[in-house]
Homo-oligomer: A and B are copies of this chain.
Amino acid sequence: MTRFRQAVRTLLRSEILDAAYQLVTDEGWAGLRVAPVARIAGCSRQTVYNEFGTNAKDAIGLALVEREAEHFLLGIQAQLDAHRASLEEAATAGVGFVLRRAVDNPLIRSVLTAARGGQDDELLAYLTTRPEPVFDTATTMLDAYAADAWPEVDAVSRSLAVETIVRLTVSHIVQPAADPEESARRIAVITTRIAYPGKA
């Protein structure tokens, strides 16, 4: 109810996710247990279930991915703000930022390597077969940003461009091409052509 209570809830979620993040990057998602998460977070096991409900492990995985995505989105916004004048430059900077950070992001590394080795692809699914959480957040933010920064692009073209840049970027995270910078430039060209169809 009060702001302090909300702060406590936020703190609790944060502590639990921090603990889960650490355990996932150390030992992989498959080896994650609820009890160690609670121990490292400094609360009881039941508190984790109270906060994340039944199937706490899945909810933690989703929250982990969402938080990481939100983290990326903050960085992307900074990149876009620095290249607001040109859509293509902004796209290059934003995608380049994501691809560069993705290769040394502990969580993504852990998920990718684990999935390549065995069948531990539960978290990877949020980037492949069940990417709605990430896609929705990213497209919503980017669409709002694009509508504000490049109003000359009509709604349909904007929607097409945003969906394309999100899907291509995620694709390159999961299956990286040789050079992140080159990939970013290519994605930016594609996005720009979709946004400005007349500008042959």
Contacts and interface: CB of A to CB of B under 8 A. Distances in A.
A70 interface: no
A51 to B, nearest CB: 11
Copies of this chain: 2
B11 A15 contact: no
Nearest to A47: B4
A75 interface: no
A42 interface: yes
A7 interface: yes
Contact of A7 (B4, B42, B47): B42
Please classify the interface of chain A as helix (H, G, I), strand (E, B), loop, or mixed, using the class held by over half of its residues: helix
A55 interface: no
Interface string A1-44: 01110111001100100000000000000000000000001111
A5 to B, nearest CB: 8
Interface residues of A, number: 14
A42 B2 contact: yes
19 contacts: A2-B42, A2-B43, A2-B44, A3-B42, A3-B43, A4-B11, A4-B12, A4-B15, A4-B41, A4-B42, A4-B43, A4-B47, A6-B42, A7-B11, A7-B15, A7-B42, A8-B8, A8-B11, A11-B11
A111 to B, nearest CB: 27
Contacts of A42: 2-4, 6-7
Interface in A56-79: none
Most buried by B among A6, A7, A41, A44: A7
Given A4-B43, A6-B42, 6 more contacts: A2-B43, A4-B15, A4-B42, A7-B42, A8-B8, A8-B11
